[in-house]
Structure 1
Amino acid sequence: MAESWKGVPEEDLPPITATGWFRVMLRGLTLGTLVFGGLLILLVVRLIEWPLFGQRRPVTPYITQVVCRNSFRILGMGYASQGAPMQGAGAVVANHSSWLDIFALNARKRIYFVAKAEVAGWPAIGWLARATGTVFIKRDRREASAQVQLFRERLAAGHKLLFFPEGTSTDGLRVLPFKPTLFAAFFDPALAPHLQLQAVTVVYTPPEGADLRFYGWWGDMDFAPHLLASLAAAKHGKVTVIYHAPVKLNDFENRKALAKALEDQVRSALPEHGLIQGAEG
């Protein structure tokens, strides 16, 4: 398991007021109904979709997109995107700074996350991940051939596989060095000839007057308080998802060169306060 990025400790979250708790209840109930109602619909549709299309999912990803896009409306949080998602199958990489990334990246683009195998066993999150087609991998060299085969099958089905090469989440003000080892499987001859990759930058703008790290979720931060603070906020900022020009794997001689090029693309779109050379640990 990758180590968590610690960074500068977060400030204590402000206490939630009575009005804030009202927003928590209203938004929480509405958001929960949307997410789990959408999941139920997805599972029912998948019962029909799987026998007809197998790994290909021509319908259910749209349900995920509708849920994720409307989640931001429920929160009262702005959502915008720039650039064009690549066409066809391939790999997508992005910076990682919040649990909200899952919603932001799914809202416009039909993608399938690549996650460590342990996530499948997490309460609620693991269930949602499995239902939406997440690819679970073991970070074990002995599993390399099986991993390549799994990627081949999913790419052959036209899937866009998204992973976070930083290996952990940050405060959103920096991009950590991309781990070249995470790109190793894509250089297998079975995948390399026609594989394309697209870098995506997720930029959070905090509410006016709030800490720049308002949406960041990292290190040892607990999920529940962060979720409650997001639900209770009187005003929200926005998230912008920026799609960079896709690159072809064959244009890079090794995984280190590829990782650095994609890392530079992602970092280039962060605002000035985010141009921090993040260090691991």
Structure 2
Amino acid sequence: MGWLRVVVRGLLLGGVTYGSLVILLLLRVIERPLFGLQRPVTPWVTQFVCRAAFLILGIRFSTRGTPMAERGAVVANHVSWLDIFTLNAPQRIYFVSKSEVAGWPGIGWLARATGTVFIQRKGSEALAQKNLFEARLRAGHKLLFFPEGTSTDGLRVLPFKSTLFAAFFADGLDQILSVQPVTLVYRGPKGQDARFYGWWGDMGFAPHLLKVLAARRQGSIEVVFHPPVRVADFPSRKALAAHCEAAVRSAFPD
């Protein structure tokens, strides 16, 4: 039965995901020359796929709070590859991801098609990344990034790195941008390890995917939207990063 669930869920998830990717790319052919960096239509396709994914997998999904309407960015704790579905489902965002993801078979194509911003981990690339951030933010894109810099087991939050927050303090941007902290709370299936959905360290993607697809009982995911804050209200990127980290930690179960 476990393998049957893998096959059925895998085919459904793959069909919806890559079938919708074809539709998205066709729409982008029209959207790009008319709107440039703006994407008024294709993010709706992404949201549909992500919402459908939870129905297919049988994972209970809920939100608390409201995605901000203000212009700016979203920051969250990083737990799993499921974060892609979890964070896209309730809002229209563009992920910021490490450059290696662009080369991953299947996932890299999806990431590029949906407007993901790819960054290098090298300190020498900091200025170029800051400029790229500024361009996308000025275009009105709501960027989502993980200040921890890596994923965890879902039971803790690592210290937030402040480097990428620097882009919000560029000339004029700090006066118009807001940042919304978001907490992802994963709860494993009843009777399973609380870290069931966590994907971190040297874990392989394929084994973890198969485990999730095969699960007879699934757990739940809650997305907690904290009040957005104005960048201009903070004296520095470190102060803003510290506030966001504290907000994300505050929604973790005791």
What is the TM-score when the length of structure 1 is the normalising length?
A: 0.87
Q: Tell me the residue number matched to 1:120.
A: 102
DSSP 3-state at the match of 2:62: strand
Given that residues 144 and 185 in structure 1 are in contact (C-alpha distance below 8 angstroms), is that contact kept between their aligned partners in structure 2? no
5+ residue gaps in structure 1?
Answer: 1-18, 273-281
Consecutive aligned runs of 4 or more in structure 1 exceeding 6 Å deviation: none
Equivalent in 214, 219, 224 of residue 232 of structure 1: 214
In the alignment, does 2:176 pair up with 1:194? yes
Q: Tell me the residue number matched to 2:146.
A: 164
Whole-angstrom CA distance in 2 between matches of 1:111 and 1:80: 18
Q: Tell me the residue number matched to 1:69.
A: 51
Equivalent in 154, 167, 174 of residue 136 of structure 2: 154
Whole-angstrom CA distance in 1 between matches of 2:166 and 2:100: 20
Whole-angstrom CA distance in 2 between matches of 1:144 and 1:239: 33
Q: Tell me the residue number matched to 1:56.
A: 38
Q: How many residues align?
A: 254
DSSP 3-state at the match of 1:177: coil
Given that residues 23 and 231 in structure 1 are in contact (C-alpha distance below 8 angstroms), is that contact kept between their aligned partners in structure 2? yes
Classify 1:142/1:220 alpha carbon distance in 2 versus 1 (closer, same or farther; 3 Å). Answer: closer
- The amino acid that maps onto 1:138 is Q
Q: Tell me the residue number matched to 2:8.
A: 26
- The amino acid that maps onto 1:76 is G
Whole-angstrom CA distance in 2 between matches of 1:248 and 1:142: 28
- Cα deviation for residue 215 of structure 1 reads 0.5
Whole-angstrom CA distance in 2 between matches of 1:214 and 1:228: 12
Equivalent in 78, 81, 90 of residue 63 of structure 2: 81
For residues 93-132 of structure 1, the aligned pairs below 5 Å read: 93-132=75-114
Q: Tell me the residue number matched to 2:198.
A: 216
Q: Tell me the residue number matched to 1:4.
A: none
Given that residues 28 and 231 in structure 1 are in contact (C-alpha distance below 8 angstroms), is that contact kept between their aligned partners in structure 2? yes
- The amino acid that maps onto 1:81 is T
5+ residue gaps in structure 2?
Answer: none
- The amino acid that maps onto 1:87 is A
- Cα deviation for residue 91 of structure 1 reads 1.0
Q: Tell me the residue number matched to 1:11.
A: none
Q: Tell me the residue number matched to 1:254.
A: 236
Given that residues 114 and 135 in structure 1 are in contact (C-alpha distance below 8 angstroms), is that contact kept between their aligned partners in structure 2? yes
Classify 1:139/1:185 alpha carbon distance in 2 versus 1 (closer, same or farther; 3 Å). Answer: farther
Root mean square deviation, CA, Å: 1.3
- Cα deviation for residue 250 of structure 1 reads 1.4
Whole-angstrom CA distance in 1 between matches of 2:92 and 2:152: 24
Same amino acid, percent of matched pairs: 65
- The amino acid that maps onto 1:193 is Q
